[in-house]
Structure 1
Amino acid sequence: MLIAFSILITILYYISVGYNVLFLGISAIFSGETYDIATLRLESYSSSRYLFPGYVNQFKNSILPISSVILIYYLYSVRHKYRGAIAGTLGLMSLIGLLGTGQRGAFVVFVLVVLCFTYYISRITFFRALRTALLVGIPIFFLSSIVLDRNNTQDTLATDPIQTVTVLGRELGNRIFSDNQITSIVGYRYVSFLPTAHGEEWGQAILGLLPGESFRGSDLSGQIFKILYGNDRGTAPIGLWGSVFYNFGTIGLVVFPLLFGAFLRGIFSYFSRNTTLNTGQIAGIAGVFVTLGTWVSDGPVTVLNTGALAYLFIYFICTPKTRPKYNE
C-alpha cells in the first residue's frame, strides 16, 4: 500500500509540475531539441506555484525507494516467480522519482542507505551491494549528469566523449572534496559579520516546510549562492558548524556537539534494545543513521528534507505491535 500510494503521489506531482526533467533531458539527447534544464530544474521544486515539494520528497525520495528495497529483498529471498520484473519496475519508478527534478543528492543518499541496510543484513550481502553500487550506481550518476546537462555535458558528448567523462569525474570529485567545503567557508565568512540569530534562522527554515506563502523559510543558502555565482538560481548551504555559530554563537559550538552526541547515543541505544529486527526495521534504522551521518551543512531542516522522519516512520510501521511469547 505504501509503494502504491508513493507512486501515485510521485505521478501526480510531476503531472502538476508539467514535466519531468529526466525525461526532458533524454528527449533532448535523441531529438536534438534544446531545453533550459537549469531553469526547469529550479522551477520543479521552487516555482511560483507551491506544490508541496518538501512533502512529496518524503514519498518519492525516501518512502518509495526504501519500501521497494524491502519488497525486492523479500521477493528474492522467497524466489518469487516474477521477482525480476517487479524489481525492474520498482527500480525504474524509484529512479524516475529520485532524478525527475534534476537533483542527484537524493540518489546518492539512497545508495548509502541501501549499503547500510545490506551491511545490517549480512557482510556477504553488503559486499555484493557495494560491488553493484560501484558498477551500476556510478554509471547511473554519470548518465543522469549527462541527461540533466550538468556542465553542458550534452554539447561535449557527441564531439569528445572522453572529455565528457573527465568533466563528470572532476565534478564528482568536486562535490565530495571541494564544493561543500567552499560554500561552508564563504557562508561562515558571510555570517561572521552578522549578529547572532539566537536560533531564529533555524526556526524560519523549519517553518518554511509548512505550506503556504506565509512561511517563506530561510533565504541564507540563496544569499550565499548569490555571493558565489552572482545570481539566485540555486542554493549553497552554509556548513553545519557555521550554521550553529550563526544561530547560537561560540557557546553553541561548545554545547551543540555535546547535545548532538548524546542524541546519537540515545537513538543508538533505543534501536539496539531489540536484538531481533525485521528487514523493515533495519531499513528504517539505516535511513535514520545515514541521514544523520551525512548532515554536514545547514541546520536541522537538512535532516528533515533528506527523509529522517520518513525512515523513522518506516521503522515504526514495521515494528510488531506485540512481541510473541518465548514459547511461541
Structure 2
Amino acid sequence: MMWIVMPLLLLAVVHYLLSVRHYGVLTPDGLFVCTQLLMVVGTAALVEPGSSVDNAYLQMMVAAVMIYIAASCVTYLALRTRSEQLTPPRSERRTFQVSLVPPKGPVLLVTALSLAIMLTYFAAVGYSAFLLGLQGQLSGSPQDVATLRLQSYAGETYLFPGYANQFKNVIYPALVVVILTWVFMRSGLAARLGGLVLVGLAVFGLLGTGQRGAFILFLVTLLIYVFLVNRRRVSRWVLLLPAMGLPFALLATYALGRSAGAADSPVAATSEELYRRFLNDNQLSGLAAYRYTESLPVQYGREWLAGLQGILPGDRGSSLANEVFATLYGSTVGTAPPSLWGSAHHNFGTLGVLVFAALLGVALQVLTFRSLRRASYNTLELIGYAGVTATVGTWTVAGPDALMNLGLVAYLLIWYGGARWSRSGRPAFLLVSAEDRRRAARRASAYGTATGRAPTFEPGRHRVRSTGPDHPVAAGARL
C-alpha cells in the first residue's frame, strides 16, 4: 500500500521547497508535516490490503495531510506577498537578539512552587514507578510497572494527575532551562552545580510516573529552544542533545521493562521501542480506533467536548481510548487513542476531516509565519514558543484535549509571561553567540593592531535597558 503515499511525499517536497526551507523544520508547520508523514507511512505498513475499512482510513489520512499542505502553501504565499508589500527590508529577517531572564522574582517563585507540587504529588502517590522499576531490574525481581503507572494517575485516590503534570512535565522543566541558561552564561561553579541538581529533579519528574512520552516531548522542546537561542543556527548542542538524552531513554527502557529483553540488551530494546513509538504504536492505535468508530454514528463534536470536560477535576472525560484499548488487549486499564484524523472523522465525518485539515493548515502557517519576527526576544519567550511548537507540531493523536494535557496552555502562559517581562523595561543581559564572540575577538585584534591597545569584551555580560523598538538592541544591533 505504500504507492498511495507517493503523491503525498511529492507534495511534501514541494511544501519544503516553497516554504519550510525559509523558516525551518523546527516550527509548528514544519514539525507537524514531518510527524504526519511518519503517521501515514507507519499506517500504510499496517493496513490489510484486502480490508476496505483499512484502505478507507489510509486514503482519508493521505487526503487530510495533502489538504493541510495545500492550505499551508497557499497561506504562506498570501502572507509572504502581503509582508513584502508592507515591509520589504524587514520581512525576511531571520535573526534576533536574545536576552537572559534572571532567576529572580516570579521566575524563582513559580519554579519553587512547581517543584513543591511535584514532590508533594510523588509523596502522595507513595512511590516513583521509575525508581521502583529500576530497583526491581537491578535486584532481579522486576516490578509490575504497568500497574504502578496506572495506579499513580488513576488509582483509588484521585490526586489531580493532569494538573500535577502541568507543573512537573511542563512548567518546572521549562523554567529550569531558563535558569540554567542564565547560570551557565553568568554565574560561577557553585551556581552551575546547583543548576545541575535542578536538572536532575526535572528528569526525575518527567520519568517518575513511568511514562516516557513527556520526556521525549520535552527533549523536542529543548532542541527547538537551543536552536532558537542560537538565533536559528545549528550549534553543537542541537546535535549533542539527542545523544545526551539517549542514556536516559536507555535507563527508562531498562527500568520500565517495556520491551522483551530489556534487561539483557537495553540498547536493542530501546532501538525497538523508538521504532515502535514513531512508526508503530500510534499508527496501530489509530487504525484500531478507526475500525471501532467507523460504524458508529458521527458525534458532531460531542466526543471532543467530553474530552475537554475531562480536564475538569473529577470528570472522567471521553472513554473512547479505553474502549479501543479493550478491543486490542481485552481490558480497559489502558488507552489506545484514535489518530488526529480518525478523531476528527468520528466527531465530524469525512467532510469535517477535510475542512478541519484546511483550517489547521491555515492556522499553523499563520502561527509559524507571524511568530518570532521581532528583533529581540528573551529566554522565557523562547522556551514558551518552543513548547508550543513541540506540542502542536507533534499532535498526531486524539482531539484538542490532547494538546491541553500535553501542556499547550502552560507553554502559552510562559510565552505570555516572557512577553510581559520584555515590555516591562527591565535591564536585559544579552546572550552573545560563539560566532559573535569570534567576530568581536577579530575586531578587537584589528583594533589593537591599529591603535596598540584592544578593547575588553566580556561575552554574555552586556547589560542594556531596552526602551522600545527603535533602541539599538531591539533593532538587532550586534555587540
**TM-score, normalised relative to structure 2:** 0.64
Distance 2:240 2:114 in 1: 25
Query: What one-letter code is carried by the residue in structure 1 that aligns with 2:359?
Result: L
Which residue of structure 2 aligns with residue 207 of structure 1? 309
Which residue of structure 2 aligns with residue 18 of structure 1? 126
Query: What one-letter code is carried by the residue in structure 2 that aligns with 1:301?
Result: D
Deviation string, structure 1 residues 7-63 (Cα, Å, up to 9, x no partner): 100000011111111121222234444432110111111112211111111110011
Which residue of structure 1 aligns with residue 342 of structure 2? 242
Query: What one-letter code is carried by the residue in structure 2 that aligns with 1:37?
Result: V
Contact 2:380 2:415 in 1 (8 A): yes
Relative to structure 2, which stretch is displaced further, 170-179 or 60-69? 170-179
Larger Rg: 2
The question of 1:144 aligning with 2:252 is answered yes
> In angstroms, what is the RMSD of aligned CA positions?
1.9
C-alpha displacement of 1:82: 2.1
Distance 1:142 1:12 in 2: 27
C-alpha displacement of 1:178: 1.2
Which residue of structure 2 aligns with residue 260 of structure 1? 360
Query: What one-letter code is carried by the residue in structure 1 that aligns with 2:224?
Result: C
Distance 1:152 1:14 in 2: 28
C-alpha displacement of 1:253: 1.3
SS state at 1:302 partner: helix
Distance 1:30 1:167 in 2: 16
Which residue of structure 2 aligns with residue 312 of structure 1? 412
SS state at 2:205 partner: helix
C-alpha displacement of 1:170: 1.3
Distance 2:279 2:365 in 1: 28
Choose from 367, 370, 380 the match for 1:280: 380
Distance 2:207 2:381 in 1: 26
Distance 1:204 1:286 in 2: 28
C-alpha displacement of 1:201: 0.4
Contact 1:220 1:237 in 2 (8 A): yes
Relative to structure 2, which stretch is displaced further, 126-135 or 5-14? 126-135
Distance 1:256 1:283 in 2: 28
Which residue of structure 1 aligns with residue 291 of structure 2? 189
Distance 1:92 1:190 in 2: 42
Which residue of structure 1 aligns with residue 268 of structure 2? 166
Query: What one-letter code is carried by the residue in structure 2 that aligns with 1:18?
Result: G
Distance 1:175 1:123 in 2: 30
Distance 2:354 2:138 in 1: 55
- The residue correspondences of 1:98-177 to structure 2 (distance < 5 A) are 98-122=206-230, 126-151=234-259, 153=261, 157=263, 161-162=264-265, 164-177=266-279
Contact 1:146 1:153 in 2 (8 A): no
Deviation string, structure 1 residues 225-260 (Cα, Å, up to 9, x no partner): 111122222111110000001001122112111221
Which residue of structure 1 aligns with residue 110 of structure 2? 2
Choose from 131, 145, 148 the match for 1:40: 148
The question of 1:221 aligning with 2:321 is answered yes
**TM-score, normalised relative to structure 1:** 0.92
Call closer, same or farther: CA 1:66–1:40 in 2, change over 3 Å: same
- The residue correspondences of 1:27-66 to structure 2 (distance < 5 A) are 27-66=135-174
Distance 2:196 2:218 in 1: 17
Distance 1:153 1:43 in 2: 25
Contact 1:198 1:247 in 2 (8 A): yes
Relative to total residues, which structure has the larger helix share, 1 or 2?
1
Deviation string, structure 1 residues 68-95 (Cα, Å, up to 9, x no partner): 1111011111143324312320111001
Contact 2:253 2:269 in 1 (8 A): no
Query: What one-letter code is carried by the residue in structure 2 that aligns with 1:280?
Result: L
Relative to structure 2, which stretch is displaced further, 270-279 or 85-94? 270-279
Q: Which runs of 5+ in 1 are unaligned?
A: none
Query: What one-letter code is carried by the residue in structure 2 that aligns with 1:55?
Result: Y
Structure number with greater CO (CA < 8 Å, separation at least 6) is: 2
SS state at 1:277 partner: strand
Distance 2:200 2:358 in 1: 42
Distance 1:237 1:67 in 2: 30
Distance 2:342 2:147 in 1: 29
Relative to structure 2, which stretch is displaced further, 116-125 or 308-317? 116-125
C-alpha displacement of 1:133: 2.3
Contact 2:227 2:238 in 1 (8 A): no
Query: What one-letter code is carried by the residue in structure 2 that aligns with 1:211?
Result: P
Query: What one-letter code is carried by the residue in structure 1 that aligns with 2:134?
Result: I
Call closer, same or farther: CA 1:169–1:34 in 2, change over 3 Å: closer
Which residue of structure 2 aligns with residue 72 of structure 1? 180
SS state at 1:150 partner: coil
Distance 2:255 2:190 in 1: 30
Distance 1:282 1:80 in 2: 24
Q: Which runs of 5+ in 2 are unaligned?
A: 1-108, 426-466, 473-479
SS state at 1:65 partner: helix
Identity of aligned residues (%): 37
Contact 1:197 1:247 in 2 (8 A): yes
Contact 1:115 1:126 in 2 (8 A): no
